Amino acid sequence: MRILVLAEDVPWPETNGGRIRTANVVRALASLGEVDVFAHVSTDEPAAVPAGEPARRIGSTPRTRATINRWRDLRWVMNGKVPREYSARDYTQARRDLRQWMQGPYDLAWVGNAETFVAFEPELSMSKIVDLYDLGDTKLRWRLAAARDPSESTAASARARVRRRARTAVMRVNLRRWRQLHAHVVARARAVVVASELDHERLGCADAWVIPNGYSRPVTRCGHLESRDPATVIIQGSMTYDPNIDGAEFFVGRVWPELRRLRPTAELRIVGAGNRRVGTLASTPGVTVTGYVPEIEAELRLADIAAVPLRFGGGTRLKILESFAHGIPVVSTRVGCEGLKVKDGEHLVVADEPEAFGAACDRLIGDQALRHRVVAAALALFEDEYEWGRIRPSIIACAERVIEPRG
């Protein structure tokens, strides 16, 4: 049996949630036959299969840069067929590269997200499973909700309000395009995968498979039960990803002043490859922006709590599962922990408003009994539901259901 895995990025090294998910999909599918991996990459990072990984071969093609301008946007609003993010990309060369690279026939293609499906669908004649682990329309719904935040618009100028309304109108059109794309994927794929029961409901596909994101059990946990003085809060993730950038700015601008009022010696570390916008946050007293770190464990050992201040996004948050696995207490917005089987006050503390989020951080730092309870409950939940060894059998079962007998 021969299986093709198409991904938005190379799976190794496993430096982010998408790569980790793809790597574990490959490991699961390799139990059924030979697996080839082809990635639609945004960098010139070389693609190679590390020793010990079960993929037979790996290839890649560069993702073209989207060129959005006013006239192209207008044409897209009037008669666009795909989400705005993809409307300005040309996939001709990527399809040609895949066609020349494939060594078919393949029994199954596992397609790693919506854009990968848009890019390569014309080249895929075999049965297809499409992994919609990060629904684009979900991100837009939360983003629209954040844009309606009255506390941020009161002091805005008339010009700024007009611009915000224009952006909101474009987002509403894009929301319809995302729903059209999801419907197209459901119609064309043999099976569709989502990351949570909540996304299953949102997608509206009765027979979608729920395969959650996961995290591998660490050899040594980095967390410490007793908080320290000064306490350290960590925000981690790719700071080139819009929801993470917005979350970091929201926390530093609106939550951090409240937490420093309650706990003046507290320190904040923003960890992850980022851009200039995030770098400017380091000018705030008590805030350190590390940029990319090669080993996250060193930062996790410093953390008294992990903060997940996301206001929009999709899928499920690997950073929360990582904190659970390492025994680090978590404070999150509702969006940040959405899709996970967590309960406020049992596995983590949930808060949305800036003052409430700051107070929750202070409470989880200072209340040692609460820290012990949430860490124990979160670790048990991780081991029962979100450790990759528990998840991979579902990937295998989904593929077995889809693959037709040969001959």
pLDDT digits (tens, 9 = 90+) for 216-264: 999 999 999 999 999 999 999 989 888 899 999 999 999 999 999 999 9
pTM over 0.85, yes/no = yes
Instruction: Retrieve residue 273's tokens.
Output: 């490859």
125, 205 Cβ separation under 8 angstroms: no
Round the CA-based radius of gyration of the chain to a whole number and report it. Answer: 22
Q: Which pLDDT score is estimated for 407?
A: 40
DSSP helix/strand/coil, 358:
helix
- For residue 242, count other CB atoms closer than 10 A to its CB: 11
Distance CA 198, CA 210 (A): 9
Q: Which pLDDT score is estimated for 287?
A: 98
Distance CA 172, CA 184 (A): 19
End-to-end CA separation in angstroms for the chain: 12
| Percent share of the chain, pLDDT over 90 | 73
Instruction: Retrieve residue 176's tokens.
Output: 């319809």
Burial of residue 308, with CB atoms counted within 10 A of its CB: 0-12 exposed, 13-18 middle, 19 or more buried:
buried
> CB pairs under 8 A, 24+ apart, for 247-252?
247/308, 247/309, 247/310, 247/311, 247/333, 247/336, 248/278, 248/281, 248/309, 249/277, 249/278, 249/281, 250/309, 250/311, 250/354, 251/307, 251/309, 251/357, 252/281, 252/284, 252/287
Burial of residue 254, with CB atoms counted within 10 A of its CB: 0-12 exposed, 13-18 middle, 19 or more buried:
middle
Give the lowest-confidence range in 74-78, 142-146, 358-362, 403-407: 403-407
Degrees (nearest 5) of the Cα angle 184, 146, 381? Answer: 75
Binned at pLDDT 50, 70 and 90, residue 398 comes out as very high
Distance CA 368, CA 307 (A): 17
Q: Which helix (H) or strand (E) holds 172?
A: helix 158-188
Residue 225: partners with Cβ closer than 8 Å, 6 or more residues away = 327, 368, 371, 372, 375
Name the pairing type of β-strands 57-62 and 305-308.
unpaired
Q: Which helix (H) or strand (E) holds 57?
A: strand 57-62
Domains, in order of start, for the chain: 2-214+388-402 (3.40.50.2000), 232-386 (3.40.50.2000)
pLDDT digits (tens, 9 = 90+) for 24-60: 999 999 999 999 999 998 777 778 999 999 999 999 9
Peptide bond into 230 cis (omega under 30): yes
